[in-house]
Structure 1
Amino acid sequence: MSIPERRARERAQRHQLIVTAARELAETEGWEAVTTRRLADRIEYSQPVLYSHFAGKDAIVAAVAVVGFAELAAALEAAGRSAGLAGAARAYVAFAEANPALYDAMFSLATDLPFGGPDAPEALRAAFGQLLGALAPLAGDRDAETFTEVGWSALHGLVTLTRGGRLRPDLAEQRLTILVDQLSRS
Protein backbone atom coordinates (compact mmCIF):
# COMPACT_ATOMS: atom_id res chain seq x y z
CA MET A 1 0.00 0.00 0.00
CA SER A 2 1.36 3.39 -0.94
CA ILE A 3 1.72 6.24 1.53
CA PRO A 4 -1.08 8.29 -0.08
CA GLU A 5 -3.42 5.27 0.06
CA ARG A 6 -2.58 4.70 3.73
CA ARG A 7 -3.16 8.39 4.52
CA ALA A 8 -6.49 8.33 2.71
CA ARG A 9 -7.53 5.23 4.64
CA GLU A 10 -6.48 6.81 7.95
CA ARG A 11 -8.35 10.01 7.08
CA ALA A 12 -11.51 8.02 6.29
CA GLN A 13 -11.15 6.17 9.60
CA ARG A 14 -10.79 9.48 11.50
CA HIS A 15 -13.82 10.84 9.68
CA GLN A 16 -15.87 7.80 10.71
CA LEU A 17 -14.53 8.02 14.27
CA ILE A 18 -15.74 11.63 14.53
CA VAL A 19 -19.19 10.75 13.17
CA THR A 20 -19.53 7.76 15.49
CA ALA A 21 -18.38 9.74 18.53
CA ALA A 22 -20.81 12.57 17.74
CA ARG A 23 -23.68 10.15 17.39
CA GLU A 24 -22.86 8.31 20.61
CA LEU A 25 -22.48 11.54 22.54
CA ALA A 26 -25.76 12.87 21.17
CA GLU A 27 -27.62 9.65 21.99
CA THR A 28 -26.34 9.64 25.59
CA GLU A 29 -26.27 13.36 26.42
CA GLY A 30 -28.17 15.17 23.67
CA TRP A 31 -26.98 17.30 20.75
CA GLU A 32 -26.22 20.23 23.06
CA ALA A 33 -23.35 18.16 24.48
CA VAL A 34 -21.79 17.67 21.03
CA THR A 35 -19.10 20.31 20.74
CA THR A 36 -15.83 20.20 18.86
CA ARG A 37 -13.99 20.37 22.16
CA ARG A 38 -15.87 17.37 23.59
CA LEU A 39 -15.45 15.43 20.36
CA ALA A 40 -11.73 16.21 20.20
CA ASP A 41 -11.31 14.96 23.76
CA ARG A 42 -13.38 11.87 23.07
CA ILE A 43 -11.51 10.79 19.93
CA GLU A 44 -8.14 11.96 21.28
CA TYR A 45 -7.34 14.32 18.42
CA SER A 46 -7.03 18.09 18.46
CA GLN A 47 -9.83 20.43 17.45
CA PRO A 48 -7.90 21.46 14.29
CA VAL A 49 -8.02 17.80 13.21
CA LEU A 50 -11.82 17.89 13.55
CA TYR A 51 -11.94 21.09 11.51
CA SER A 52 -9.82 19.45 8.83
CA HIS A 53 -12.72 17.01 8.38
CA PHE A 54 -15.75 19.19 9.12
CA ALA A 55 -16.43 22.93 8.90
CA GLY A 56 -18.31 22.84 12.20
CA LYS A 57 -21.05 21.19 14.18
CA ASP A 58 -23.67 21.54 11.43
CA ALA A 59 -21.44 19.58 9.06
CA ILE A 60 -20.96 16.88 11.69
CA VAL A 61 -24.73 16.71 12.22
CA ALA A 62 -25.19 16.38 8.45
CA ALA A 63 -22.69 13.50 8.32
CA VAL A 64 -24.51 11.76 11.17
CA ALA A 65 -27.82 12.33 9.38
CA VAL A 66 -26.52 10.70 6.20
CA VAL A 67 -25.56 7.62 8.24
CA GLY A 68 -29.05 7.67 9.72
CA PHE A 69 -30.70 7.76 6.31
CA ALA A 70 -28.64 4.76 5.22
CA GLU A 71 -29.74 2.87 8.34
CA LEU A 72 -33.36 3.92 7.85
CA ALA A 73 -33.25 2.74 4.24
CA ALA A 74 -31.95 -0.65 5.38
CA ALA A 75 -34.62 -0.94 8.08
CA LEU A 76 -37.38 -0.02 5.62
CA GLU A 77 -36.03 -2.43 3.01
CA ALA A 78 -35.97 -5.30 5.50
CA ALA A 79 -39.50 -4.56 6.70
CA GLY A 80 -41.00 -3.76 3.33
CA ARG A 81 -40.10 -7.00 1.66
CA SER A 82 -42.47 -9.00 3.79
CA ALA A 83 -45.10 -6.68 5.20
CA GLY A 84 -45.74 -3.89 2.67
CA LEU A 85 -46.78 -0.47 3.88
CA ALA A 86 -47.78 -1.64 7.37
CA GLY A 87 -44.33 -3.16 7.90
CA ALA A 88 -42.57 -0.12 6.51
CA ALA A 89 -44.62 2.21 8.72
CA ARG A 90 -43.86 0.16 11.82
CA ALA A 91 -40.18 -0.02 10.89
CA TYR A 92 -40.08 3.77 10.44
CA VAL A 93 -41.66 4.39 13.85
CA ALA A 94 -39.43 1.78 15.53
CA PHE A 95 -36.34 3.35 13.96
CA ALA A 96 -37.31 6.79 15.27
CA GLU A 97 -38.04 5.42 18.75
CA ALA A 98 -34.76 3.49 18.93
CA ASN A 99 -32.60 6.38 17.66
CA PRO A 100 -33.97 9.68 18.98
CA ALA A 101 -30.81 11.78 18.59
CA LEU A 102 -30.11 10.29 15.18
CA TYR A 103 -33.68 11.04 14.12
CA ASP A 104 -33.21 14.63 15.31
CA ALA A 105 -30.07 14.94 13.18
CA MET A 106 -31.99 13.63 10.19
CA PHE A 107 -35.10 15.78 10.57
CA SER A 108 -34.93 18.48 13.23
CA LEU A 109 -31.46 19.99 13.41
CA ALA A 110 -30.09 22.45 10.89
CA THR A 111 -28.11 20.92 8.05
CA ASP A 112 -27.36 21.93 4.50
CA LEU A 113 -28.33 18.53 3.11
CA PRO A 114 -30.29 18.88 -0.11
CA PHE A 115 -33.57 16.95 -0.03
CA GLY A 116 -35.79 16.03 -2.92
CA GLY A 117 -33.39 16.56 -5.77
CA PRO A 118 -30.75 14.83 -7.83
CA ASP A 119 -27.97 16.33 -5.70
CA ALA A 120 -29.28 14.67 -2.52
CA PRO A 121 -26.85 12.15 -1.03
CA GLU A 122 -27.46 8.54 -2.04
CA ALA A 123 -28.52 7.57 1.48
CA LEU A 124 -31.33 10.16 1.44
CA ARG A 125 -32.50 8.98 -1.98
CA ALA A 126 -32.36 5.36 -0.79
CA ALA A 127 -34.53 6.03 2.26
CA PHE A 128 -37.05 7.96 0.18
CA GLY A 129 -36.90 5.19 -2.42
CA GLN A 130 -37.87 2.62 0.18
CA LEU A 131 -40.85 4.73 1.25
CA LEU A 132 -41.73 5.25 -2.40
CA GLY A 133 -41.62 1.50 -2.96
CA ALA A 134 -44.12 0.96 -0.14
CA LEU A 135 -46.45 3.82 -1.08
CA ALA A 136 -46.31 4.10 -4.89
CA PRO A 137 -48.55 1.06 -5.48
CA LEU A 138 -51.23 2.85 -3.43
CA ALA A 139 -51.02 6.22 -5.17
CA GLY A 140 -53.56 5.38 -7.86
CA ASP A 141 -53.74 8.21 -10.38
CA ARG A 142 -51.92 10.62 -8.06
CA ASP A 143 -48.24 11.48 -8.46
CA ALA A 144 -46.43 8.68 -6.61
CA GLU A 145 -43.61 10.88 -5.26
CA THR A 146 -46.02 13.50 -3.94
CA PHE A 147 -48.19 10.78 -2.41
CA THR A 148 -45.07 9.37 -0.77
CA GLU A 149 -44.14 12.80 0.60
CA VAL A 150 -47.60 13.07 2.17
CA GLY A 151 -47.32 9.59 3.68
CA TRP A 152 -43.82 10.34 4.96
CA SER A 153 -45.05 13.63 6.43
CA ALA A 154 -47.84 11.82 8.25
CA LEU A 155 -45.42 9.24 9.68
CA HIS A 156 -43.03 11.98 10.74
CA GLY A 157 -45.91 13.88 12.35
CA LEU A 158 -46.93 10.83 14.38
CA VAL A 159 -43.34 10.29 15.49
CA THR A 160 -42.79 13.94 16.39
CA LEU A 161 -46.07 14.39 18.26
CA THR A 162 -45.60 11.11 20.11
CA ARG A 163 -42.02 11.96 21.12
CA GLY A 164 -43.19 15.36 22.31
CA GLY A 165 -45.85 13.81 24.55
CA ARG A 166 -48.63 15.46 22.52
CA LEU A 167 -50.53 12.25 21.77
CA ARG A 168 -52.04 9.65 24.04
CA PRO A 169 -49.34 6.96 24.36
CA ASP A 170 -51.74 4.06 24.75
CA LEU A 171 -53.18 4.64 21.26
CA ALA A 172 -49.94 4.64 19.23
CA GLU A 173 -50.68 1.34 17.48
CA GLN A 174 -54.25 2.36 16.71
CA ARG A 175 -53.08 5.65 15.15
CA LEU A 176 -50.54 3.83 13.00
CA THR A 177 -53.18 1.34 11.85
CA ILE A 178 -55.55 4.17 10.91
CA LEU A 179 -52.80 5.95 8.98
CA VAL A 180 -51.87 2.79 7.04
CA ASP A 181 -55.57 2.13 6.32
CA GLN A 182 -56.08 5.69 5.06
CA LEU A 183 -53.01 5.60 2.85
CA SER A 184 -54.05 2.20 1.49
CA ARG A 185 -57.41 3.47 0.24
CA SER A 186 -57.43 4.38 -3.42
Structure 2
Amino acid sequence: MSALTERRERERAHRHQLIITAARELAEAEGWEAVTTRRLAERVEYSQPVLYSHFNGKDAIVSAVAIDGFSELAAHLRRARQAAPEPEQALRAVCRAYLEFATERPALYQAMFVLPTDVKFASTETPPPLRSAFGEFVDCFRPDNERRELFAEVTWSALHGMAVLSDSGRIPPAGQEERLDFLVTQITRTPAD
Protein backbone atom coordinates (compact mmCIF):
# COMPACT_ATOMS: atom_id res chain seq x y z
CA MET A 1 0.00 0.00 0.00
CA SER A 2 1.40 3.38 -0.95
CA ALA A 3 1.93 6.22 1.49
CA LEU A 4 -0.68 8.26 -0.39
CA THR A 5 -3.27 5.47 -0.08
CA GLU A 6 -2.49 5.09 3.62
CA ARG A 7 -2.86 8.83 4.16
CA ARG A 8 -6.22 8.88 2.34
CA GLU A 9 -7.46 5.96 4.45
CA ARG A 10 -6.39 7.75 7.65
CA GLU A 11 -8.14 10.92 6.49
CA ARG A 12 -11.28 8.95 5.64
CA ALA A 13 -11.24 7.24 9.06
CA HIS A 14 -10.76 10.64 10.70
CA ARG A 15 -13.74 12.12 8.78
CA HIS A 16 -15.82 9.06 9.68
CA GLN A 17 -15.08 9.51 13.39
CA LEU A 18 -15.60 13.27 13.16
CA ILE A 19 -19.13 12.69 11.80
CA ILE A 20 -19.91 10.18 14.57
CA THR A 21 -18.63 12.56 17.25
CA ALA A 22 -20.57 15.50 15.81
CA ALA A 23 -23.77 13.41 15.71
CA ARG A 24 -23.31 12.40 19.36
CA GLU A 25 -22.63 15.96 20.47
CA LEU A 26 -25.62 17.34 18.58
CA ALA A 27 -27.89 14.59 19.91
CA GLU A 28 -26.74 15.15 23.50
CA ALA A 29 -27.26 18.91 23.16
CA GLU A 30 -30.54 18.99 21.21
CA GLY A 31 -31.90 15.44 20.89
CA TRP A 32 -31.82 13.01 17.97
CA GLU A 33 -34.50 14.96 16.09
CA ALA A 34 -31.90 17.71 15.59
CA VAL A 35 -29.43 15.32 13.94
CA THR A 36 -29.85 15.71 10.20
CA THR A 37 -27.32 15.20 7.44
CA ARG A 38 -27.61 18.88 6.60
CA ARG A 39 -26.82 20.00 10.16
CA LEU A 40 -24.01 17.46 10.45
CA ALA A 41 -22.50 18.62 7.15
CA GLU A 42 -22.50 22.20 8.45
CA ARG A 43 -21.07 21.15 11.78
CA VAL A 44 -18.17 19.09 10.39
CA GLU A 45 -17.65 21.47 7.46
CA TYR A 46 -18.03 18.85 4.76
CA SER A 47 -20.66 18.67 2.05
CA GLN A 48 -23.67 16.38 2.33
CA PRO A 49 -22.28 14.17 -0.48
CA VAL A 50 -19.14 13.62 1.64
CA LEU A 51 -21.38 12.56 4.54
CA TYR A 52 -23.24 10.18 2.24
CA SER A 53 -19.92 8.72 1.08
CA HIS A 54 -19.47 7.60 4.72
CA PHE A 55 -23.04 6.88 5.80
CA ASN A 56 -26.20 6.00 3.94
CA GLY A 57 -28.38 8.40 5.91
CA LYS A 58 -29.24 9.12 9.52
CA ASP A 59 -30.01 5.48 10.46
CA ALA A 60 -26.49 4.46 9.48
CA ILE A 61 -25.07 7.32 11.54
CA VAL A 62 -27.15 6.25 14.56
CA SER A 63 -25.86 2.68 14.13
CA ALA A 64 -22.26 3.92 14.02
CA VAL A 65 -22.85 6.03 17.14
CA ALA A 66 -24.35 2.95 18.84
CA ILE A 67 -21.31 0.79 18.03
CA ASP A 68 -19.06 3.55 19.35
CA GLY A 69 -21.18 3.59 22.49
CA PHE A 70 -20.84 -0.14 23.00
CA SER A 71 -17.05 0.25 23.01
CA GLU A 72 -17.35 2.89 25.73
CA LEU A 73 -19.87 0.84 27.68
CA ALA A 74 -17.68 -2.27 27.57
CA ALA A 75 -14.68 -0.33 28.92
CA HIS A 76 -16.83 1.33 31.60
CA LEU A 77 -18.26 -2.01 32.75
CA ARG A 78 -14.85 -3.71 32.66
CA ARG A 79 -13.35 -1.07 34.97
CA ALA A 80 -16.25 -1.51 37.40
CA ARG A 81 -16.03 -5.32 37.35
CA GLN A 82 -12.26 -5.42 37.79
CA ALA A 83 -12.41 -3.02 40.75
CA ALA A 84 -14.65 -5.40 42.72
CA PRO A 85 -12.97 -8.53 44.16
CA GLU A 86 -16.00 -10.75 44.87
CA PRO A 87 -18.54 -11.96 42.25
CA GLU A 88 -21.56 -10.38 44.00
CA GLN A 89 -19.65 -7.12 44.43
CA ALA A 90 -18.59 -7.26 40.78
CA LEU A 91 -22.17 -7.76 39.64
CA ARG A 92 -23.36 -4.86 41.79
CA ALA A 93 -20.55 -2.64 40.47
CA VAL A 94 -21.29 -3.55 36.84
CA CYS A 95 -25.02 -2.93 37.33
CA ARG A 96 -24.38 0.43 38.95
CA ALA A 97 -21.92 1.36 36.19
CA TYR A 98 -24.50 0.42 33.55
CA LEU A 99 -27.16 2.63 35.13
CA GLU A 100 -24.67 5.49 35.49
CA PHE A 101 -23.75 5.15 31.83
CA ALA A 102 -27.41 5.32 30.77
CA THR A 103 -28.06 8.36 32.98
CA GLU A 104 -24.91 10.27 32.03
CA ARG A 105 -25.22 9.68 28.26
CA PRO A 106 -28.96 9.67 27.48
CA ALA A 107 -28.71 10.36 23.74
CA LEU A 108 -25.96 7.78 23.32
CA TYR A 109 -28.00 5.25 25.29
CA GLN A 110 -30.99 5.96 23.04
CA ALA A 111 -28.87 5.25 19.95
CA MET A 112 -27.65 2.00 21.48
CA PHE A 113 -30.93 0.62 22.82
CA VAL A 114 -33.99 2.64 21.86
CA LEU A 115 -33.71 4.07 18.34
CA PRO A 116 -34.06 1.71 15.39
CA THR A 117 -30.69 0.55 14.07
CA ASP A 118 -29.36 -2.33 12.04
CA VAL A 119 -27.08 -3.43 14.91
CA LYS A 120 -27.62 -7.15 15.46
CA PHE A 121 -27.94 -8.41 19.02
CA ALA A 122 -27.42 -12.05 20.02
CA SER A 123 -26.43 -13.25 16.55
CA THR A 124 -23.35 -14.21 14.59
CA GLU A 125 -23.41 -10.65 13.20
CA THR A 126 -23.23 -9.01 16.63
CA PRO A 127 -20.44 -6.40 16.54
CA PRO A 128 -17.44 -7.14 18.80
CA PRO A 129 -17.97 -4.03 20.98
CA LEU A 130 -21.51 -5.21 21.81
CA ARG A 131 -20.22 -8.72 22.54
CA SER A 132 -17.60 -7.21 24.85
CA ALA A 133 -20.19 -5.20 26.78
CA PHE A 134 -22.37 -8.27 27.22
CA GLY A 135 -19.29 -10.29 28.18
CA GLU A 136 -18.73 -8.02 31.16
CA PHE A 137 -22.08 -9.14 32.56
CA VAL A 138 -21.33 -12.80 31.80
CA ASP A 139 -17.97 -12.49 33.56
CA CYS A 140 -19.74 -11.47 36.78
CA PHE A 141 -20.98 -15.05 37.11
CA ARG A 142 -18.88 -18.07 37.97
CA PRO A 143 -17.49 -19.99 34.98
CA ASP A 144 -19.03 -23.22 36.31
CA ASN A 145 -22.51 -21.64 36.10
CA GLU A 146 -23.93 -23.24 32.94
CA ARG A 147 -26.65 -20.60 32.83
CA ARG A 148 -24.36 -17.60 33.21
CA GLU A 149 -25.40 -16.16 29.83
CA LEU A 150 -29.05 -16.45 30.82
CA PHE A 151 -28.30 -14.72 34.13
CA ALA A 152 -26.45 -11.99 32.22
CA GLU A 153 -29.37 -11.52 29.78
CA VAL A 154 -31.91 -11.25 32.58
CA THR A 155 -29.71 -8.81 34.49
CA TRP A 156 -29.12 -6.64 31.42
CA SER A 157 -32.84 -6.71 30.57
CA ALA A 158 -33.83 -5.63 34.06
CA LEU A 159 -31.26 -2.83 34.07
CA HIS A 160 -32.45 -1.63 30.67
CA GLY A 161 -36.00 -1.51 31.99
CA MET A 162 -34.89 0.44 35.05
CA ALA A 163 -32.88 2.88 32.92
CA VAL A 164 -35.67 3.56 30.43
CA LEU A 165 -38.46 3.72 33.00
CA SER A 166 -36.43 6.01 35.25
CA ASP A 167 -35.42 8.29 32.35
CA SER A 168 -39.05 8.64 31.26
CA GLY A 169 -40.22 9.40 34.81
CA ARG A 170 -42.31 6.22 35.02
CA ILE A 171 -40.48 5.01 38.11
CA PRO A 172 -38.96 7.36 40.69
CA PRO A 173 -35.18 7.81 40.49
CA ALA A 174 -35.03 7.83 44.29
CA GLY A 175 -35.69 4.07 44.41
CA GLN A 176 -32.80 3.15 42.11
CA GLU A 177 -30.48 1.77 44.82
CA GLU A 178 -33.24 -0.34 46.36
CA ARG A 179 -34.16 -1.77 42.93
CA LEU A 180 -30.49 -2.46 42.22
CA ASP A 181 -30.05 -4.24 45.58
CA PHE A 182 -33.16 -6.32 44.96
CA LEU A 183 -32.01 -7.32 41.45
CA VAL A 184 -28.49 -8.30 42.52
CA THR A 185 -29.75 -10.20 45.57
CA GLN A 186 -32.30 -12.16 43.55
CA ILE A 187 -29.90 -12.99 40.73
CA THR A 188 -27.04 -14.04 43.01
CA ARG A 189 -29.33 -16.25 45.13
CA THR A 190 -30.79 -18.04 42.12
CA PRO A 191 -29.36 -21.56 41.81
CA ALA A 192 -26.96 -21.95 38.89
CA ASP A 193 -28.21 -25.41 37.92
Bin of the TM-score, shorter chain as denominator length: over 0.9
CA contact (8 A) 1:22 1:60 kept: yes
CA contact (8 A) 1:65 1:102 kept: yes
Deviation string for 1:115-170 (max 9, x for gaps)? Answer: 11222111011101111111x329945x2212211111001011111111011222
CA contact (8 A) 1:22 1:39 kept: yes
Which runs of 5 or more structure 2 residues have no equivalent in the other structure? 85-89
Deviating more after overlay: 13-22 vs 171-180: 171-180
Runs (4+) off by over 3 Å:
138-141
| Partner residue, 2:47 | 46
Letter in 2 for 1:75: H
Q: What is the percentage of aligned positions where both structures have the same residue? A: 58
Displacement of 1:176 = 0.9
Counterpart Cα distance in 2 of 1:94 and 1:166 = 18
Deviation string for 1:9-57 (max 9, x for gaps)? Answer: 1000000000000000000000000000000000000000000000010
Counterpart Cα distance in 1 of 2:103 and 2:143 = 26
Letter in 2 for 1:26: A
Spell out the pairing of 1:1-186 with structure 2 (5 A cutoff): 2-83=3-84, 84-134=90-140, 136-137=141-142, 140=145, 143-186=147-190
Displacement of 1:5 = 0.8
Letter in 1 for 2:148: A
Which runs of 5 or more structure 1 residues have no equivalent in the other structure? none
Higher helix share: 1
The alignment's TM-score, normalised by the length of structure 1, stands at: 0.95
* Corresponding pairs, count: 184
